[in-house]
Amino acid sequence: MLISVDDLQWADEASLRWLGYLVRRLDDVAVAVLATVRPLADEDPVLAELLADPATTFVRPSALTAPAVAELVRARLSPDADDAFCRACHRTTGGNPLLLHELVRTLATEEIKPSAASVEAVERLAPDAVARSVRLRLSRLPPEAAALARAVAVLGDGADGSHAAALAALERRTLAPAAAALARVGLLQAEPPLRFVHPLVRNAVYEGIGAHERALEHARAAAVLTSADAAAEEVAGQLLLAPSQSVDGAVAPLREAAGRAAAEGAPDSAARYLRRALEEPIPDDERGALLLELAAVELNLGAATIIDRLQEAVRLVGDPERRAQARLELGRALLGGARGGRDRRPRASPGRARPRGRPATAAAGGVRAHAGDSIRSRCGPSNGREPGCCSGCRRTTRPRAAGAASGRSSVPSWRLLR
């Protein structure tokens, strides 16, 4: 005879005492008791005594393999379930039996045919099935555990415990019990760092936070990380999802992260950081400098907004040298547009990184050096870039004055460059 008990942790004390009385009298009887149990933080003493009995054997199943998932799907939906469909069920649930059960139940309710054509439906419905299961498990946990789950969802997998505790407004001594509670219900990995058991679980917790509240949580996360002297990339990643003007000093980490991304050959990331920085209220001169950096990055991306960026930079930059630099860059961009909408000069390879710490606008320095080389070739090595040497030298070394007089300061310089 087999006596099966599911979710033993929810049994009342009287039932647990009866079960404890029974199992101690089964040595010479052909009876087995099989129970499933999920440990709880405030475990009933009677249950704890039952589990500690030497006669109790523990079996801790691992995640289901792909063949096991296929077998279950075919048993529940159809013996002819397509291999691609079964693989999608395994991939989206990670082989977690509970998540797989929820997914299969949802697929059956929606009458989804288990064919290769339904793989997209599996990927679409899996989050909903998981979300229901996650919400149910979170509802049974203490508020501290639910707050920690939200904090880890906002910070991302691998979050530092102290950062997560600060964001969840938890005392450090309550962090470990809260993490253990989440691990017991199969939401977080049991071992540090703080990490969800599956991306779908993290998404379910994350999507359970309202959109407006999520944005504010990202702003709080950025402030927490800044206070903890976290890497600029970590802070900037949170700022990208936070409302503008919600975090003091947001421009500095965004700008630093952009510089590192550009130096490491990731212009897309650098551009996102700089665009986000421009959403903050900053002085005109600093905004102009940011626009110059963004234009230099967008040059590698072939963005159509370079001319607009540079025109605004020319208007905002107060420093004469930087304004001359902006005009030279604008001239290059306008010349490229006159030739058919693209600059014919060879662009820097996105995969080639600048030395770390070199600003994104350093390309303009190269423009000035090339201009000097061209002038020296006309005027000789001794007279190159000397004031009054020739009209070309005057136009290159004093573009602001030439621009004020004629508005065509870039043209003679770029004829020399070309």
CATH code assigned at 205: 1.10.10
Residue 290 lies in a domain: no
Helix (H) or strand (E) holding 326: helix 320-338
Q: Are residues 188 and 161 in the same domain?
A: yes
Per-residue pLDDT tens over the stretch 78-132: 999 999 999 999 998 888 887 888 888 888 878 899 999 999 888 888 777 778 8
321 band by pLDDT with thresholds 50, 70 and 90: confident
The whole-number average pLDDT for the span 239-266 is 94
Q: Are residues 199 and 177 in the same domain?
A: yes
Residue 355 lies in a domain: no
Higher-scoring residue by pLDDT: 322, 115:
115
Q: Are residues 80 and 123 in the same domain?
A: yes
Whole-model pTM above 0.75?
no
Q: Are residues 129 and 178 in the same domain?
A: no
Six-digit token string for 362: 């350093």
Helix (H, G, I), strand (E, B) or coil at 146: helix
Last residue of a domain, one of 112, 136, 160: 136
Answer whether 152's CB lies under 8 Å from 164's CB: yes
The whole-number average pLDDT for the span 372-396 is 39
Q: Are residues 167 and 197 in the same domain?
A: yes
Domain limits at 72? Answer: 66-136
Residue 124 lies in a domain: yes
Residue 349 lies in a domain: no
Residue 56 lies in a domain: no
Q: How many domains does the chain have?
A: 4
Alpha-helical segments (H) within 159-250:
161-167, 172-184, 199-207, 211-227, 232-239
Residue 86 lies in a domain: yes
**Considering only 12-16, 29-33, 392-396, which range has the smallest mean pLDDT?**
392-396
Helix (H) or strand (E) holding 5: strand 2-5
Residue 119 lies in a domain: yes
Residue 227 lies in a domain: no
Q: Are residues 81 and 117 in the same domain?
A: yes
Residue type, 64: L
Given a cut of 90, whether residue 161 has pLDDT beyond it is: yes
Last residue of a domain, one of 164, 183, 209: 209
Last residue of a domain, one of 79, 104, 136: 136
Q: How far is CA 175 from the centre of its chain?
A: 24
The whole-number average pLDDT for the span 310-336 is 85
Of 65, 130, 66, 134, nearest to 104 (Cα)?
A: 130
Give me the chain's average pLDDT, please: 79
CB-facing half-sphere around the CA of 354: CA atoms within 13 A: 22
Given a cut of 50, whether residue 366 has pLDDT beyond it is: no
